[in-house]
Amino acid sequence: MLASNQGFITILTGLYSYQDCVHFLASVRKFHSEPIVIVIDRVPWYLTWILKRFADVHFVPAPRCDNPVLASRFAKVSLYQLSPFEKTLYLDCDTCLLDSVGEIFEDLDQWDLLVTPDVRPKLADAINLLRVKQDLEAYDVLSILSQIGLVCSPATVQYNGGLIAFRRTRANQTLFEKFTQNLNLVLAHQDVLFLKDQGAFAAAIEFAQPRIKTLPPTYNFMSKWKEVYGDIAEPIKILHCTYPIRPQFAKNVTRSWFTRGFDRLARYLLPNQVNNPWRRVKAQL
């Protein structure tokens, strides 16, 4: 257990998100001093020292898997067990803090779980979870999910798993146990579903019923969906997008002599994130 009772945790399985992770660490350190835990796998030892350059960074081994995408899914459902903190803020490593988010840790004094809605918040409309190619509107999403064991209701909300803030409670322990079971159901029905965790997470929340607070999209803002969010009056706190396509104003947040030098080397030493083949693989998933 680390000295602090609260901190950040992220997942890095493979090198395709390595550049994201470096800038994630830089953005957190710009506004926060809490410990950062990286659930890590398939990163060569000689590259871990760059991550360790940022203060108070700690490594926890991720569940081993040949597929880095699947490894990250296994790591996410294991966050409750892997986190050493009483109050944990999980963020995908392709997020960037644009401001302090200390209020999230404060809210965890009152709430079990803090999350943000997906751009398609009604799970009943989540055709993005289904492995279908035509006449999408004809599919009854809830019926399909229920048939494989993901029990949901018309009111079930689909949350974006890029931000999950939680504290140690019995409800959250139950939530993550159910999350694990639900992900296994998704894996067992890859002929019907894509390898995504939103449906499994939403059904787990429905089952565990933690005290939940829904944060506005400014805490998990995805630029490519800005039209969907509508008018947002509050400043964006956390931007969610991979570094190569991140707006310049967000890149400026983590800009330093160190990151500038790293980014130049990354072009030659790291695989291309935009052309990441794991984003296109379907048969193995």
Query: 129-147, pLDDT tens digit by residue?
Result: 888 765 556 678 899 899 9
What's the pLDDT score for residue 282? 44
- Per-residue confidence (pLDDT) for residue 256, from 0 to 100: 96
Model confidence at 285, pLDDT cuts 50, 70, 90, reads very low
Query: Between these two residues, 133 and 52, which has the higher pLDDT value?
Result: 52
pLDDT at 137: 61
pLDDT at 280: 54
> What single string gives the DSSP state of each residue in 210-251?
--EEEPPGGGSB-GGGHHHH----SPP-EEES-GGG--HHHH
pLDDT band of residue 108 (cuts 50, 70, 90) is very high
Q: Is the pLDDT of residue 252 over 60?
A: yes
Question: Collapsing DSSP states into helix, strand and coil, what is residue 61?
Answer: strand
Q: What is the mean pLDDT of residues 186-190?
A: 92
**167 Cβ contact partners less than 8 Å away, ≥ 6 residues apart:** 86, 87, 88, 108, 112
Q: Is 268 left (phi over 0), alpha (psi -120 to 50) or beta?
A: alpha
Give the percent of the chain with pLDDT over 70.
94
255/92 Cα distance (integer angstroms): 20
| Reported confidence tier of residue 125, pLDDT bands at 50, 70, 90 | confident
pLDDT of 265 higher than 70: yes
pLDDT class of 16 with cuts at 50, 70, 90: very high
pLDDT band for 13, please (50, 70, 90 cuts).
very high
Beta strands in the chain (DSSP E): 6-13, 36-41, 57-61, 87-91, 95-97, 113-122, 157-167, 212-214, 238-240
Average pLDDT for the chain: 91
Average pLDDT over residues 238-265: 94
Q: Give the dihedral of Cα atoms 47, 50, 54, 60; nearest 10 deg.
A: 0
- What's the whole-number mean pLDDT along residues 245-269? 94
Token pair in block for residue 68: 């880095």
